[in-house]
Amino acid sequence: MKMSFRWYGPDDPVKIEYIRQIPNMKAIVTAVYDVPVGNVWSNDSILKLKKTVEDAGLDFEVIESVPVHEDIKLGAGLRDKYIENYKENIRRLGKAGIKVICYNFMPVFDWTRTQLDKVAADGSTSLVFYKEQIEKMSPLGGELSLPGWDSSYKKEDLKDLFEKYSKLTEEDLWENLKYFLSEIIPVAEEAGVKMAIHPDDPPYGIFGLPRIITNEENIDRFLKLVDSEYNGLTLCTGSLGCASSNDIPKMVEKYAALKRIHFMHIRNVKNYDDGSFEETAHYSECGSLDMAAVVKALVKHNFDGYIRPDHGRMIWGEKGKPGYGLYDRALGAAYINGLWEGISSCLEV
């Protein structure tokens, strides 16, 4: 495995020099943020980013994300033009040394929470999703915004998008995903870049918008849409794990054995009976997921892809992007390193 850390570029309050100081930290996961969704990234921007990362002593091998334009998900408008742009981004990133591209196929919104700074008993804050809060939220009111989201939608664009999605069924979304993959995977194969879809977070439809990368059955279906190693997964334990029906260690074991996981997002969540959940520290006992079982499944199948500690809480007074501070993610990386080393040495005995 190769340990990595998400960094939002020079404007990120977390300094790249500090990321390097985390034990076993090898690579930065980042993206070019200066182009609107759907456009081609300039070679200059890509190479500048690569230089910044490499000058900091870290590898530039994973992009999160190259976002997919809504026209592609909707199968409408300028879809073919945006797919051509997407292919060009894959080629350019491959030439720059990128090995994995993470992306998602969630209509309109990426990961969704109802509160970004819920104070826990120990004084730390974290992201939470409470059913009673989500029911009261109106996405068209414009009060929702998260660091991973495309913030360029204006209220009117959102209205228009909701209108278009109201006619799109889950099956249509599958069709459009298949169309997209059939176009891009051959290019990814040629460029030597593994595509790694991120699961839907949370893994069910929200605000009446369909979501399909949600559970084992659907992931099996996804992998068959284009049966290539280059059509793979970002397996995010927290995204899939906030649905208690998903058996995360089992899924990790299955897809690691198939060599279809290229990128692991490892974090813990505490689930409640009504479907609400809270993001917690990585340590198993803090949440509902068995982190040792997850790492064991990876070690067992000689996982050689990338891992990043996902969302941390805000601790020790840190201020920053919700979920993306330095301290708790660094603790997460150290914890995963410890599990990895301990489990590998036991499995060797």
Residue with tokens 């002593």: 57
Q: Is 328 in the site for ligand DNO (CB under 6 A)?
A: no
Stretch that binds ligand DNO, among 43-51, 98-106, 135-143, 269-277 (CB under 6 A): 98-106
Q: Is 113 in the site for ligand DNO (CB under 6 A)?
A: no
> Binding string to ligand DNO for residues 229 to 248, with x set by CB under 6 A, is what?
-------x------------
φ, ψ for residue 345, nearest 5 deg:
-70, -30
Any catalytic annotation for residue 204?
no
- Binding test (CB under 6 A) with ligand DNO, winner from 103, 130, 277, 303: 103
Residue list 15-74, contact with ligand DNO (CB under 6 A): 64-65
Any catalytic annotation for residue 220?
no
Amino acid at 134: I
Any catalytic annotation for residue 102?
no
- Binding test (CB under 6 A) with ligand DNO, winner from 198, 260, 282, 313: 198
> Binding string to ligand DNO for residues 124 to 153, with x set by CB under 6 A, is what?
------------------------x-----
Q: Which distant-in-sequence residues (6+ apart) come within 8 Å of 220 by Cβ?
A: none
Q: Is 165 in the site for ligand DNO (CB under 6 A)?
A: no
Which of these is catalytic: 69, 198, 262, 282? 198
Stretch that binds ligand DNO, among 54-62, 104-112, 159-167, 337-345 (CB under 6 A): 104-112
d(CA 316, CA 327): 8
Tell me how far, at minimum, the Cβ of 105 lies from ligand DNO, in Å. 9
Q: Is 110 in the site for ligand DNO (CB under 6 A)?
A: yes
Tell me how far, at minimum, the Cβ of 275 lies from ligand DNO, in Å. 19
Q: Is 111 in the site for ligand DNO (CB under 6 A)?
A: yes
Stretch that binds ligand DNO, among 13-21, 52-60, 96-104, 253-261 (CB under 6 A): 96-104
Q: Which is nearer to ligand DNO, 309 or 323 (CB)?
A: 323
d(CA 90, CA 98): 9
Any catalytic annotation for residue 103?
no
Q: Which is nearer to ligand DNO, 249 or 322 (CB)?
A: 322
Which of these is catalytic: 201, 311, 327, 335? 311
What is the contact surface with ligand DNO in residues (CB under 6 A)?
A: 64-65, 102-104, 110-111, 148, 198, 236, 265, 311, 323
Which residues participate in catalysis according to the annotation? 198, 236, 265, 310-311, 324
